[in-house]
Amino acid sequence: MPTYDFICQKCSQRFDIFLTFSEYGKTKVTCAHCGSESVRRRMTKVRIAKSEESRMESMADDVSGFEGLEDDPKALGRMMRKMGKEMGEELPPEFDDVVGRLEAGQSPEEIESALPDLGNAASDDE
């Protein structure tokens, strides 16, 4: 069942309500805080779930943007952040640290020397 976000025009409180698609627009919504019928729907961000195939296709479309990345740490960082978001998976905090350093202009070599244990985490598990 979808959750719809509302705001009360009387008490200014926000609240959400579960309604089926068939109930939406037909069911009278009242404020969960003060009971007022003077409410309006809040428009929120829409999240679209992508299949793994569509995420990979999206990244493949950006292959032309890979050229010259070895000479531009900031562009490399932006590309890595975008790929991380496209994957839709929880990434370790080290990923954000490395990407943040790249976006700040630090070279991969500088990052590697500053974080020498970063590459060893995977080999320790094997």
In a domain, 122, yes or no: no
In a domain, 84, yes or no: yes
Domain that holds residue 30: 3-41
Same domain for 67 and 97? yes
Same domain for 22 and 64? no
pLDDT for residue 58 is more than 80: no
Same domain for 33 and 63? no
In a domain, 68, yes or no: yes
pLDDT at 9: 95
Q: How confident is the model at residue 70 (pLDDT cuts 50, 70, 90)?
A: confident
Same domain for 61 and 109? yes
C-alpha span between 75 and 102 (Å, rounded): 8
**Domain total in the chain:** 2
What global pTM score does this model have? 0.44
pLDDT at 4: 86
**CA of residue 109 relative to chain centroid, distance:** 28
